[in-house]
Chain A
Amino acid sequence: MNRRVFVSGIGMVTPLGVGKETFREALWRGETGIREIASFSTEGFGSHLGAEIRVFQPRDFISLKNLRKMDRLSSMVTASVRMALDDAGIAVSDANRDRIGIVMGTAFGNTELKVQSARVLFKEGPGMVNPIHVPNTVMNAPAGHASIELGFRGVNTTVNHQAVSAETAIAYAAMEIRRGTADVILAGGADILSPFFYEALGRFRALSPTAGGAEGARPFDLARNGPVMGEGCGIVCLEAGDLVRGRGAAPYAEVTGWGLASSPSPPTGWPADPRGFLLALERALRMAGSAPPEIDCIQAAGNGGRELDALEAAAYERVFGGGDAKPLITSLKGATGEIFASGGIRAAALALSIREGVVPPIVGLTTPMCSLPFVIGEARHRPVRKALLSGISFGGTYACLVFEKDATESP
């Protein structure tokens, strides 16, 4: 089998809002989800900003029976999965449940739960560990909960590879649909901002303002001094072309290419050169049968980190520099912070850009670090036919995807 793969629905719980309507409005307006952290005290920490989920009522999306067994990460994922299925107009039934699956990405899972488990074990002893809490400590808990709540029983996997967990999950899901093991796969990623993890990132000097200056997320800016941490979940509903056509659905985009690559790197640092990222880019473009000048828009990985943004910009200079038709480059991470398994939310944003012909601005960018066509200030209105989703992780892991507007889309 070699089926076509479409994005037929999106769902999200983000610092910019829950559900595609609020998310989309915030994106086009260039709003930010970054504020002073409200859910815990950052006293004594080097950073104080974060992009938290502030308004989210899981009860609106999840049955009480299942919700009470879920941790916060699982509830965000399950709600997003329901939104994506509803958005696609797919109802799970006995006729299709074995052909619907999920491939989730999470970089760190529920880090708060991990610390709580450690606290009980090491302060109170092994006898006090509550078996009720054990299932939620596994990384595949969100995918398990979502499948129980929604009742789908097909392919079910969780990718746990740092900042490219979600992009890799989407590529994996597309591959499964292409080879025919599933008709529909909910794919994406989620991570949460926990007090412990926030503190740990601060101690690793991984957050703004690492190198002095004012705290803030400034992707691709000369004055960038580290990312701000965010949290959230984004899910895309991937569906086989024959099904999309069969039910006359109007998909957001077709997933036409993906490229995965590695490069030698310090374990938690950045590689010295962009060779690995360039390979992932080339592989994705080659599978899509696209040349670089055909790309209208890039949803970049840049988060305001000094090394990541430099590495990514260097690669774009090489691939897209020169020539006339340069893609507009945007990054969501000035508005949502770095969510790590952010690829699901960014894929949803890209799907919206393709459908509506709008490319949102990079919030926080005022003085670009180089002359690439970054979107600054206002959203741009321009047709987006082919677009690139870039995933880059510390540790030297890369996952890129090419999304295209469906040429045969019904009006």
Chain B
Amino acid sequence: MAIGNNEKRVVITGLGTVNAVAGDPREFAAALRNGVCGIGPITLFDTTTFRTHNGAQVKDFQPHATIPRGVSLKRMSRSDLMALTATFQALAQAGLDPVPEALREEMGVVIGGGAGGLLEAEAFFQDYLRKAGRAARFSRLSPVSCAATANHLTTQFNLYGPKATIMTACSSGATAVGLGRDLIRSGAARAMIAGGTEPLCRMTFASFNALKAVDPEYCRPFSGNRAGLTLGEAAGILILESLASAKKRGARILAEVLGYGVTCDAHHMTAPDVGASGAVRAMRAALADAALGPESVDYINAHGTATPPNDLMETRAIKEVFGPRARRIPVSSTKSMHGHTLGAAGALEAVASVLAITEGFIPPTIHCETSDPECDLDYVTTGARPVAPDVVLSNSFAFGGNNTTVIFGRFREEGGAA
């Protein structure tokens, strides 16, 4: 059966997010435009014994401000709750609250995860270790799996479509968006809730501190004095839909997913390949998938973690892919504002990329304080620019050498990936 172009083109009809600088997409657009910094002392848990103390924590999170009172939040982790909040926002924007009966069988969920319910499980582990197992309440472990989030979403919205949880460390969210796109494109679903969610927690915080990957103050992407990342927490959710489905419903189309590419360094578990081959191949694969040449990219939403090797590697990769034009493409790391949200990062930055298209601005890189002769691209360091990008390329690179690039575009009737 031949699938028509309108079934193959996948568009975005809803956005949702909870993060350190915003409680919803509207606030997120304003924060990105104003260069708001969400980094400060972590209060979610006691950081006294840790090497560093700052993070990009979600403030005053009130799930029931968005989630209807009648919805039980029992056995949900902070990670689940952030994702559920963002999903309610995204479905409302898409005009899918409630999801129509006719769409339920063909709507699924794909979530990129990281720590899942580990924040809650830490309380269990402390108990378990103290009492040598005997009296610990194992039931507190039940929300620990990252898959719990997608399970809650399909149950809450009564969905029967495909469901998956992706865990590729810091590229999980981006890969989830790509897989969601492909499931629709291949005909396995008509619409997908796609995104990522990640909570701050002690074990992740301890791991990144042990790796000495954390800047004790705040992250400074692409800056000459950059000294590491800032961990953050967030959920980012996109409603993906076939163009045919969106048109049939008369939904407002925010943007289109034009392409995505996934590669692997096969080099080192935690260090990026300075040769940048994996990142170069991911960007090229996404461009090829979108049937776009490098000249069509208007803005690069960088991985930009602010670790010395990542930003250097990413800069090299961009130069290799975009050639002499690389210096004229605005490149920014929104992690400078909302921190590195690991499993959610690719999805959160997908939301930022779509907002750049719909709201017509290029988000800045804040905290880029000194120059680095080897990082010499246009990092948008003096505030947001009132330029409306048509095509945005978003990078996510991860432990394990995983690289994912997703390309978003302004929706045009006649456009679309080949």
Contact = CB atoms under 8 A, between A and B. Distances in A.
In the A-B complex, the 5 residue pairs with the smallest Cβ-Cβ separation, listed nearest first, are A144-B400, A260-B162, A156-B264, A139-B167, A135-B269
30 contacts: A127-B49, A127-B51, A130-B210, A131-B210, A135-B399, A135-B400, A140-B402, A148-B266, A152-B264, A155-B263, A156-B264, A172-B179, A175-B182, A175-B183, A175-B186, A179-B182, A203-B138, A204-B138, A260-B108, A260-B163, A261-B108, A261-B160, A262-B109, A262-B162, A265-B154, A265-B155, A267-B75, A276-B160, A397-B151, A397-B163
A264 B158 contact: yes
B107 to A, nearest CB: 9
A131 B186 contact: no
B51 A157 contact: no
A160 B270 contact: no
B150 A161 contact: yes
A126 B148 contact: no
Contacts of B146: 139, 160
Interface in B130-156: 133, 138-139, 141-143, 145-148, 150-152, 154-155
B37 interface: no
A157 B75 contact: no
Interface in B267-298: 267-270, 277-278, 281, 285, 289
B188 A395 contact: no
Contacts of A168: 164
A265 B151 CA distance: 8
A290 interface: no
A145 interface: yes
Contact of B168 (A125, A145, A156): A156
Contacts of B163: 161, 260-262, 396-397
Contacts of B65: none
B207 A117 contact: yes
Interface in A387-411: 395-397
A259 B164 CA distance: 12
Interface residues of B, number: 75
Given A144-B269, A153-B281, 18 more contacts: A107-B145, A109-B167, A121-B206, A122-B125, A126-B206, A130-B210, A135-B400, A138-B399, A140-B400, A154-B263, A155-B262, A156-B401, A160-B145, A160-B166, A176-B182, A259-B188, A262-B160, A276-B160
B302 interface: no
A134 B399 CA distance: 10
Contacts, number: 227
Interface string A265-300: 111100000011001000100000000000000000
Contact of B264 (A147, A160, A161): A147
B143 A267 contact: yes
A178 interface: yes
Contacts of A395: 147-148, 151
A139 B146 CA distance: 11
A264 B160 CA distance: 8
A273 B159 CA distance: 14
A157 B402 contact: yes
A129 interface: yes
A61 interface: no
A181 interface: yes
Contact of B175 (A69, A115, A157, A267): A157
Nearest to A136: B269
A153 B399 contact: no
A165 B75 CA distance: 22
Interface in B211-269: 211-212, 261-269
A118 B125 contact: yes
Interface in B58-104: 75
A262 B161 contact: yes
B203 interface: yes
A148 B262 contact: no
B147 A397 contact: yes
Interface in B96-132: 105, 108-109, 113, 122, 125-126, 129
Contact of A148 (B169, B207, B401): B401
A372 to B, nearest CB: 24
Contacts of A162: 145, 147
B154 A396 contact: yes
A279 B264 contact: no
Contact of B210 (A119, A129, A138, A283): A129
Contacts of B108: 260-262
A135 to B, nearest CB: 4
A151 interface: yes
Interface string B323-346: 000000000000000000000000
B206 A154 contact: no
A118 B145 CA distance: 16
B129 A123 contact: yes
A380 B164 CA distance: 35
Q: Chain A CB within 10 Å — which of B167, B210, B264 has the most?
A: B264
B210 A159 contact: no
B358 interface: no
Nearest to A120: B206
B49 A125 contact: yes
A42 interface: no
